[in-house]
Copies of this chain bind each other. A is one copy, B any other.
Amino acid sequence: MIEPQVKGDEWFMAKALEQAQLAFEAGEIPVGAVVVAKDKIIARSHNLTEMLCDVTAHAEMQAITSATNSLGGKYLNECTLYVTLEPCIMCAGAIGWSQLGRLVYGASDDKRGFMRFAPEALHPKTKVTKGMMEEECKAIIQDFFKSKR
């Protein structure tokens, strides 16, 4: 008998990393995200700023729009967003409006991350876990910029 696969934070972050890999292959800064509701992925996305020629097309923005479409409501208070990189100010602001239940991110972004520049952006009830699969999440970004040099 095959045991049912237990889907925990690492499993979902690995899915976000798969999205980041798709971004990498498309020449986009490799950031990926998934939104999970009741242990099920309801949205997957990756950065599309180059393809859409749109600075607002970050993985998280698309994930929020896609997840709310999927749920038919504006709020994500019962959802977890997994994203490979610490959200920027814009994305943290959007996450705040969405009243997200839980945010899990991988690599920190000291230059652009919201923790430094907009620490009050999230809804006060949103739980935050940082550093999930941090090394893998950091490595894919570093590899991308190395490949561009």
State the A residues within 8 Å of B (CB).
49, 53-56, 61, 64-65, 68-69, 72-75, 88-94, 96-98, 117-118, 120-121
Contact = CB atoms under 8 A, between A and B. Distances in A.
B97 A93 contact: no
Nearest to A60: B56
Contacts of A94: 55-56, 90
A14 to B, nearest CB: 26
Given A93-B92, A118-B117, A98 B53 contact: no
Counting every copy of the chain, the complex holds: 2
Contact of A97 (B56, B65, B120): B56
Contact of A91 (B54, B65, B74, B93): B93
A90 B118 CA distance: 10
Nearest to A56: B94
A123 to B, nearest CB: 11
Nearest to A120: B117
A73 B118 CA distance: 27
Contacts of A92: 89-90, 93
